[in-house]
Amino acid sequence: MSTRKLVSASFANLLIPISGLLVSPFLSRELGPEGRGVYAALTLPIVVWGWIGTFGLQDALSYHVRQRQLSSRAAAKVSLVAMAPLSVLAVGLLAVLGFVLFSDADQYREFLVLALLAPLHVVANLFIGALTGNSDISGLNLVKVVPAMVRTGLVIFVCLAFDVNAYQAGLIFAGSVLTGVVLGLVRLWAAPDTGPVEAAPRVPTGSLIRYALLCLPGVLAAVSSARLGQIIGLPLIGARELGYYAVAVSVAEIPMVMATAARSMLMGRQASGDVRAATQVARLAVLASGVACSVLALIAGFAVPLVFGTAFTPAVAPTIILCAATVLYACMTIYSAALLAHNRPAWSSTALVTGSLAGVVALLVLARFGAVGAAVASFIGYAVTMIITALGVGRVPELRSLRMLTVPYDDDLRLIRNRVATITARLRRADVTGSGPGTGTPAEPPSTSLVGRAVAAGHRLGPGTVGAAALIVVAWLRIVSAQTMQLLTAGRPTFNSREVGGSPVADLIGDGLTLLYLLLAAGLAAHGLWRHRPTGYRWLAVALAALLAIECAALLHGQTPGAVAAAFPLTAIAIWAQRPRTAVLGVIGALAGLTALGSMIFAVVRPDLALLTGAAAGDKTVLLGGLLTGPYLHSNVLGLALALGVAFVFYLRHPALRWTCLALILVALYWTGSRTSQLAAAAVVGSYLAIRLLRGQSWPASVLFAAGALLVGVVPLVTSDPASFSERGQIWGGLLERWSESPLVGWGPEVFQDPAVTALIGGQFNHGHNVMVQLLVVGGLVALVPFVLLCALAWKRAAALTAGGQPAPLLFLVALAQVSWLEASHVSTTLTGYVTWLPILAIALATRPTAPLPPDASVPTAPRSPEQPTVVRGRLSVPMPTTAEQ
């Protein structure tokens, strides 16, 4: 197996605990410690039986496919045929186990329903065994990762949208594996055979059964890796302590991924006969596991309460103990794989069975210590297994010593140093520009003065890009500076009220910056129309229609738009005429990082102004004294500004600035408690990782964008309970009823000031908490349809940019779709909506799509069009414009 396959397998294994970490905070806050414990008791037996219930057939399929005694299609048929008897055993034995675990009749009935889904987990693991034998790492990753992604998305959605109990969450968990079963079957059925299959009149049933029975004791390793304490812990330590233990497990299991990937490497066919080279992956896996466990143990004291809530502070001690146990688990997994690879299954099975029994006995003895006792019991079980497998490894002549599997050699350390040096060199590599040696254009000598450098940068970027950056900065200053001055002079207004105290200084600052923005946008539009002959009038008309429809609706209903209503239409004309580089949107990413940092500093200096506390915080857990609002009036508004800006940090040139801004934004987002924005940021980061993993393919981000857009259109229409989605059901129902009275043009932006509407939606709200509802009620279908067309154009061109090495625009659309089904303040046509309208207009009107890269091509080092920059390994490379562009 190549290094790339090892990295791919490790990353896929890592996504499983990451999925658990993403889901755990939502489940923990939704279910509480006791409900979290019940959820673990309901689901863990199903998962563990998915491993045990194969009765060794998973390893048997791997062996026979690897030895070419079975084809991939024959292995799929064997798995499906074996599913019938294995299903009967699974449901029957789990039903008996339920009598021991659940004394409550209702919980027992719920467990029986979940037990009916256990056969899906069994057949999924059988498919994994066949794919492993066929060395189909891509298929193996799909069967593991896709169910985890589906489960994560569904659980987070239902936790945000509905009141969920442990049984309902368990149904989602147990049923999500169906996607992996389907993918595994398709992959095996369509897989070409890598070599000639030995002629055989029938499936080697006898050989499969014998091999499976020999492997059956070793299957108990699955019980050990899942920590038996979670399965039998409910009657021994109680639901609350089991909840603490489950949280500790979700953290401490993260470093297991390297050992699991190394096990697959050791069990497979080796490329060379050099035993020391073949076992290098084992030594590196043990080293990586030790380092990761040490880091997790050091930060557990503050990370666990921060992530899972202060109610889970007692989970810190079990987490630290389990981190130490995970190092033993890594060694035990490596040793067991080496024994199986060198025909020592008896030693491996004996060690695993003995370790599991030792863990059970230790749990019975230490049950009175609760979660801590369960963690110590797991440590003891791992230690016993490791000692016995180590003794077995010592009897294998080919391995010579335990060091070959655990302690790095000098060449291993040299390999690590070389890899680190290579990565560091890539991060520090100078950006490729459009001038200088090899380009035919002499490089300009660098200016020594700050003014000179600024002028040179302006000439290099062009007036369109510089002007767009200035628009972004002025709009940001208009919002942040005016609202900060408002808070400092008039104090924080009453929550959920439109009454804001007057502040002449804040009004003066705001009006001055608004005027500056209008003048700058008008100047850019006039300059662009005078100097250029832009094309694509129909898309400019679509953008203007989406913006002007709302103002026309206001005029029709007797509302007088202010001068600021011209800001975004002028911006649309300016961007269309100037065609700035889309990389200018990196300014939004930098400002988002600055907003996050400034908000946290503001909270430290003036917590009375920058934090939301008491009734205003609602039912959200208050962190560090309150929910972070910064200069904004509510934590959700700050969350939206950060979530919509996080995608553009990937346009920043310097790695230190890029990752610092990302870290600041994520920390501030967590402090806001804005769950919708947190979900959007998680979708952005996940999409970025998927695009990098899939080498520039845009479909994962496009799928998330489409899913978010579907939620925007469907959720308000199917929601009938007024209390759903934190009372948003009443807001949507009332506003849609109001819209039905004027469906074509809506009611204008001031509709929320109508007392009848206030009574209809149950409060003094300023927006519709859903973009579709917002656009319909303020501008009608005349506003909604062109907005949808504009977003579709932006998506099409963002996908082309992603194929050309610039994923940030598509990541922004992912964030926009994810926040728009529960929020709508970000689509305001005043300057408060700059973080939405400026990126959409820039992506849709300034971008010329580039041709996708061929599969074997690297990311381009030169731009494909004069207007567009190139991103090389995450860094922005800006070309020198030609004279015509100046």
Each residue of 171-199: pLDDT tens digit? 888 888 898 899 889 988 887 755 544 44
Alpha-carbon span 623 to 302, nearest angstrom = 12
Q: Which helix (H) or strand (E) holds 359?
A: helix 345-366
- Copy the structure tokens of residue 572: 């649309």
Task: Name the residue with higher pLDDT: 223 or 102.
Answer: 102
Q: Look at residue 245 in the predicted model and tell me its pLDDT.
A: 86
Q: Look at residue 302 in the predicted model and tell me its pLDDT.
A: 78
Q: Look at residue 359 in the predicted model and tell me its pLDDT.
A: 84
Q: Is the pLDDT of residue 803 over 80?
A: yes
What does the chain come to in residues?
Answer: 886
Buried-state track 300-313, b at ≥16 Cβ within 10 A, e below 16: beeebbbbbbebbe
Q: Is the pLDDT of residue 440 over 50?
A: no
Q: Look at residue 426 in the predicted model and tell me its pLDDT.
A: 61
Q: Extract the runs of DSSP E, i.e. beta strands, from 302-426.
A: none
Query: Percent of the chain having pLDDT more than 90?
Result: 24
Among the ranges given (163-167, 321-325, 543-547), the one the predictor scored with the smallest mean pLDDT = 163-167
Same domain, 89 and 177: yes
Q: Is the pLDDT of residue 850 over 70?
A: no
Same domain, 187 and 255: no
Q: Is the pLDDT of residue 653 over 90?
A: no
Same domain, 275 and 170: no
Model confidence band, residue 819 (pLDDT cutoffs 50, 70, 90): very high
Closest to 321 in 3D by CA, of 270, 409, 257, 249: 249
In a domain, 431, yes or no: no
Phi and psi (nearest 5°) for 193?
-75, 135
Query: What average pLDDT does the segment 811-840 reach?
Result: 92
Query: What average pLDDT does the segment 245-266 reach?
Result: 78
Alpha-carbon span 84 to 446, nearest angstrom = 75
State the SS3 of 175-228.
HCHHHHHHHHHHHHHHCCCCCCCCCCCCCCHHHHHHHHHHHHHHHHHHHHHCCC
Alpha-carbon span 161 to 570, nearest angstrom = 38
Write the single-letter amino acid at 573. I
Q: Look at residue 787 in the predicted model and tell me its pLDDT.
A: 95
Query: What average pLDDT does the segment 730-744 reach?
Result: 92
Distance of CA 552 to the CA centre of its chain: 40
Q: Is the pLDDT of residue 229 over 80?
A: no
User: Across 26-35, 142-151, 323-332, 689-698, which has the greatest mean pLDDT?
Assistant: 323-332
Closest to 681 in 3D by CA, of 733, 640, 650, 653: 640
Please name the residue that has the structure tokens 């008039």. Answer: 490
Of the three residues 409, 426, 443, the one that is the final residue of a domain is: 426
Alpha-carbon span 315 to 318, nearest angstrom = 6
> At a CB cut-off of 8 Å and minimum separation 6, what does 216 contact?
55, 56, 349
In a domain, 640, yes or no: yes
Task: Name the residue with higher pLDDT: 570 or 884.
Answer: 570
Model confidence band, residue 807 (pLDDT cutoffs 50, 70, 90): very high
> At a CB cut-off of 8 Å and minimum separation 6, what does 806 contact?
582, 583, 651, 868, 869, 870, 871
Eight-state DSSP code of residue 315: G
Task: Name the residue with higher pLDDT: 629 or 233.
Answer: 629
Alpha-carbon span 313 to 316, nearest angstrom = 6
Alpha-carbon span 62 to 689, nearest angstrom = 30
Same domain, 157 and 106: yes
List residues bridging with 611 in a β-sheet.
Answer: 628
Task: Name the residue with higher pLDDT: 465 or 9.
Answer: 465
In a domain, 246, yes or no: yes
Taking only the tens place, the pLDDT of each residue in 671-687 is 888 888 999 999 999 89
Q: How many helices (H) and strands (E) does the chain have?
A: 35, 4
Please name the residue that has the structure tokens 């731009």. Answer: 863
Among the ranges given (92-101, 591-600, 772-781), the one the predictor scored with the smallest mean pLDDT = 92-101
Alpha-carbon span 581 to 599, nearest angstrom = 29
Alpha-carbon span 336 to 388, nearest angstrom = 10
- Exposed/middle/buried for 864, CB within 10 Å: 0-12, 13-18, 19+? middle
Distance of CA 82 to the CA centre of its chain: 36
Query: What average pLDDT does the segment 140-145 reach?
Result: 84
3-class SS shares of the chain: helix, strand, coil, % to 5:
75, 0, 25
Taking only the tens place, the pLDDT of each residue in 833-849 is 999 999 999 999 986 54
Model confidence band, residue 429 (pLDDT cutoffs 50, 70, 90): low
In a domain, 439, yes or no: no
Same domain, 564 and 709: yes
- Parent domain of 680: 453-877
Same domain, 245 and 178: no
Distance of CA 241 to the CA centre of its chain: 29
**Averaged pLDDT score across all residues of the chain:** 80
Taking only the tens place, the pLDDT of each residue in 364-400 is 888 888 889 989 998 998 899 899 988 988 888 877 6
Q: Is the pLDDT of residue 528 over 80?
A: yes
pTM score over 0.85 = no
- Copy the structure tokens of residue 289: 């596991």
In a domain, 617, yes or no: yes
Among the ranges given (46-55, 132-141, 819-828), the one the predictor scored with the smallest mean pLDDT = 132-141
**How many domains, in total, are found in the chain?**
3
Q: Is the pLDDT of residue 500 over 60?
A: no
Same domain, 413 and 497: no
In a domain, 440, yes or no: no
Taking only the tens place, the pLDDT of each residue in 540-570 is 899 999 899 998 988 888 888 888 889 999 9
Q: Is the pLDDT of residue 877 over 50?
A: no
Same domain, 483 and 376: no
Distance of CA 68 to the CA centre of its chain: 39
Three-state secondary-structure class, residue 562: coil
Same domain, 638 and 520: yes
Phi and psi (nearest 5°) for 871?
-105, 120
- Copy the structure tokens of residue 41: 């008791």
Closest to 800 in 3D by CA, of 851, 728, 758: 851
Among the ranges given (25-39, 192-206, 307-321, 515-529), the one the predictor scored with the smallest mean pLDDT = 192-206
Buried-state track 799-822, b at ≥16 Cβ within 10 A, e below 16: bbbbbbbbbbbbbbbbbbbbbbbb
Alpha-carbon span 747 to 593, nearest angstrom = 36
How many CB atoms neighbour CB 549 within 10 A? 25
Same domain, 166 and 132: yes
What CA–CA distances, in Å, run from 125 to 11, 369, 725? 19, 35, 37
- Copy the structure tokens of residue 66: 């690897």
Q: Look at residue 871 in the predicted model and tell me its pLDDT.
A: 40
Alpha-carbon span 670 to 673, nearest angstrom = 6
Query: What average pLDDT does the segment 779-794 reach?
Result: 94
Same domain, 222 and 279: no
In a domain, 575, yes or no: yes
* Angle, helix 3-52 to helix 105-115, in steps of 10 degrees: 130
Query: Percent of the chain having pLDDT more than 70?
Result: 82
Taking only the tens place, the pLDDT of each residue in 60-117 is 787 777 767 788 888 889 989 988 888 888 888 888 888 888 888 888 888 889 888 8
Query: What average pLDDT does the segment 792-819 reach?
Result: 93
Are 35 and 169 contacting, i.e. CB atoms less than 8 angstroms apart?
Answer: no
Alpha-carbon span 629 to 636, nearest angstrom = 8
In a domain, 28, yes or no: yes
Model confidence band, residue 471 (pLDDT cutoffs 50, 70, 90): very high
Q: Look at residue 694 in the predicted model and tell me its pLDDT.
A: 79
Same domain, 504 and 391: no
